[in-house]
Amino acid sequence: MNSRSKLSAAPLEARLFVALLKTADSLGQDAEQLVKSAGLTGAQYNVLRILRGAAPCGLACSNIGDRMISHDPDMTRLLDRMEKRGLISRERQTDDRRVIKTRVTSQGLDLLKTLDQPVRELHKRQFRHMPAARLKILAGLLEELRPEKQE
């Protein structure tokens, strides 16, 4: 029995799980290569996008972690590296000294601006073979698949 036959013998849920992981990996590698050309990792790019969306207030480290696409077990070290590069700033809050707010810097925003159009073009290329109606259906199905976080 070849590997394709073994896979088709697997339960539908198992085949879907593997297909989703392979698809996410393939799409993610393309995006990783693009942001790498700007000297970023995918996680760093994601942090910058999250902080741009939270500007000007910024976010605490735990809130950034909650919004990340992929869980990063060492968010503090990731933020340390980004701060050293001048992409983010961190400031302890005066009203609650336990909270350190992280904000994207103008340098981080400039870097994001250089990536906005190339990222849009990448996504268009990645999904160009699918009509818009099918993309909407797929987006809805994926949304339905994700479990809601328990608050």
What share of the chain has pLDDT > 90, as a percent? 75
The confidence score (pLDDT) of residue 15 equals: 94
State pTM to two decimals: 0.84
DSSP state of 130: S
Place 147 in a pLDDT band, splitting at 50, 70 and 90: confident
The confidence score (pLDDT) of residue 150 equals: 41
Tracing tokens 């503090």 back to the chain, one arrives at 76
Place 151 in a pLDDT band, splitting at 50, 70 and 90: very low
The confidence score (pLDDT) of residue 29 equals: 95
Round to whole Å and give the CA distance between 60 and 58: 7
User: What integer is the mean pLDDT of 99-115?
Assistant: 95
- Count other Cβ atoms within 10 Å, centred on residue 78: 21
Q: Poorest-confidence range of 3-7, 8-12, 60-64, 89-93?
A: 3-7
- Count other Cβ atoms within 10 Å, centred on residue 35: 21
* CB-based contact 88:105 (threshold 8 Å): yes
Round to whole Å and give the CA distance between 121 and 117: 6
The confidence score (pLDDT) of residue 7 equals: 56
Domain boundaries, the chain: 22-142
Round to whole Å and give the CA distance between 114 and 14: 39
Q: Is the model's pLDDT at 59 over the cut of 50?
A: yes
CATH no. of 22-142: 1.10.10.10
